[in-house]
Structure 1
Amino acid sequence: MKVKLSVLIVLISLAANAQNFEGKAIYKTSIKSSFSFGEDEKSTMSDDMKKQIQARLQKMNQKTFILNFDQKTSTYKEDIRLDAPKPQVGGAGVMLMSFGGAGNGSVYFKNIKEKRFSNQTEIMGKRFLVKDKLTEYEWELSSETKNIGNYTCYKATFTEEVENVRMTFDNGESKEEKKKEKIITTAWYTLQVPISNGPGNYQGLPGLILEINDGKKTIVCTEIILNPADKIKLQEPEKGKVVSQKKYDEIQKEKTKEMMERYRSRDGKGIEIKIGG
């Protein structure tokens, strides 16, 4: 049975129980690729090249992140490995690249108590510091449970309408198509870790979120270390041009258009990039 989230009393109780509480959670992410090659008759790439690019994209979209947290704040950062695949030029003039969130210095800081975040990130090599209020999700709680590792988790969902932008470049002309889509995001949280936090920008439930799925992206916690021997240092990022989330989204959209124009060529027929969601 689902009930509308009303967690003020629960969160007050959690705050009282979470004093001097800190830890580390490791998450694995997987994102479905939204890269396509247009209609087969318009594409100059071989089937083998398409398979190579899709495989490379799949590997790029499988990452590991670390959430360091205490009762009030947290940092979420990619666990960078030396052998991690880097964006590069594929065959037929196709550029595989990240539009945001990439780079060794990227970190997402949350202050749960003050309901704000600072996201130090990059767009095509330029660093930004996105500062804004935390999203207030309208979670619906469920009595359904499942185990993730040694933790009993409860189900919660929220529904939102998002605007997806599909940008295509075909026969020397760039096109943009906007489409609204209803997204249902499912979270699994545990009361055994009493903080109202989770991976990325997710938070607001009466326990740590261990799994998130919005139909395209899946984030799953694989390990939790509570109150480690070495004290966790949580520091808010300070580097980058300060912008709001709305302004950052506008810049990201504009840079995507620039990228498509820059890399268009006779081999770029049928390239499609999807933003949003």
Structure 2
Amino acid sequence: MTLIRIVLTLVMTLMIGFLNAQQMTGRAVYKSMSKMEIRLDSTEASAAMQADLQEQLMEAMKKDYELNFNSTESNWKELPKLDKSMGGGGIQVIGIASGGGADGLLYKNTKTKGFSETQGMFGKLFLIEGDLEEYEWELGSETKQIGQYTCYKATAVRKFMASSFSSSDDGVDSSEQEREQTLTAWYSPEIAVNHGPDVFWGLPGLILEISNGERTLICSQVILNPSDAKAVVPATKGKKVTEAEYEDIMEKQMQKMHRMHGGRKKGDGRGNIEIRIGG
């Protein structure tokens, strides 16, 4: 009789958890920190100048995002922030990452394993649709606390293409190189959805922190079943393009921007600049 009660209790617990997950809605706010490597000709810029520029870039690339979700769908969007003037010596970073810009929106459906995304780039909107990238997560036993939630560690290895743009006396060159990075995620089974920030998903609980060594996303606030829950909707705005077409457009725009702001006229003797952007 005792065994039957235990089994019934476990079944009821699982059913309640399943029903809660089915009915769950939520909103999570994330902060991001990214790295961008810049190399300046040592004859033109001192180590202190390069370090200062690197620090300005890291500060400019700090962003806040919002993830709205239900049991199987989520929307990822960059939150607006006040434009802090950095003066004449400051720099601006034009966002081209997922969810970037006021019009950017990433929609993920973990049931159909598909996504749609509106990307704003240089004043134009593009709509990209496709299949979600699936990660081969390795679940660990290590835990840590993020806010009120106990989180478990998971890792995955991801391959991606890294772009490099360089400007010299001979003009602007671009190149791509396949790189491999280790994703380190912290997820909480207490929030029973398999969502995560940006393009990440697929763990038995909401991902509250993830890092690839160059970019870190960490959750600063979670509200479950909010009274003002936002509807989760597919992205529909923008000119429809494939992922390959969008990457080609982005590369051409980056080269154009680099010529305008970082290019040198041949023979001006002002050295070279190299910018490397990783995933």
Deviates further, 265-274 or 103-112: 265-274
Alignment of 1:43-122 (within 5 A): 43=44, 50=50, 53-81=53-81, 83-85=82-84, 96-98=92-94, 100-101=96-97, 102-122=100-120
1:114 counterpart letter in structure 2: T
The answer to whether the 8 Å contact 1:25/1:66 transfers is yes
The number of equivalent residue pairs is: 259
- CA–CA distance in 1 between the matches of 2:16 and 2:118? 31
The answer to whether the 8 Å contact 2:27/2:223 transfers is yes
The 1:47–1:276 alpha-carbon spacing in structure 2 relative to 1, beyond 3 Å, is closer
1:40 counterpart SS class: coil
The structure with the largest alpha-carbon Rg is 2
Instruction: State the match for 1:265 in structure 2.
Output: 264
1:98 counterpart letter in structure 2: I
Q: Find the partner of 2:32 among 26, 29, 33.
A: 29
Superposition deviation, residue 15 in structure 1? 5.6
RMSD of equivalent CA atoms: 2.7
- CA–CA distance in 2 between the matches of 1:14 and 1:172? 62
Superposition deviation, residue 272 in structure 1? 1.7
Instruction: State the match for 1:4 in structure 2.
Output: none
Q: Find the partner of 1:203 among 193, 201, 204.
A: 201
- CA–CA distance in 1 between the matches of 2:182 and 2:88? 34
The answer to whether the 8 Å contact 2:29/2:67 transfers is yes
1:103 counterpart letter in structure 2: G
- CA–CA distance in 2 between the matches of 1:238 and 1:249? 19
The answer to whether the 8 Å contact 1:65/1:77 transfers is yes
Q: Deviations over 1:54-79 (max 9, x none)?
A: 34322221111110111021111111
2:39 counterpart SS class: coil
Superposition deviation, residue 248 in structure 1? 1.4
1:21 counterpart letter in structure 2: M
Superposition deviation, residue 132 in structure 1? 0.9
Deviates further, 256-265 or 122-131: 256-265
Structure 1 gaps of 5+ residues are 1-11
- CA–CA distance in 2 between the matches of 1:99 and 1:225? 27
2:173 counterpart SS class: strand
Counting aligned pairs with the same residue, the percent is 34
TM-score scaled to structure 2, two decimals?
0.83
2:203 counterpart SS class: coil
Superposition deviation, residue 35 in structure 1? 2.6
2:192 counterpart letter in structure 1: P
Instruction: State the match for 1:194 in structure 2.
Output: 192
- CA–CA distance in 2 between the matches of 1:148 and 1:187? 12
Structure 2 gaps of 5+ residues are 1-14
- CA–CA distance in 2 between the matches of 1:170 and 1:20? 57
Instruction: State the match for 1:250 in structure 2.
Output: 248
Instruction: State the match for 1:6 in structure 2.
Output: none
The answer to whether the 8 Å contact 1:167/1:174 transfers is yes
The answer to whether the 8 Å contact 2:57/2:91 transfers is no
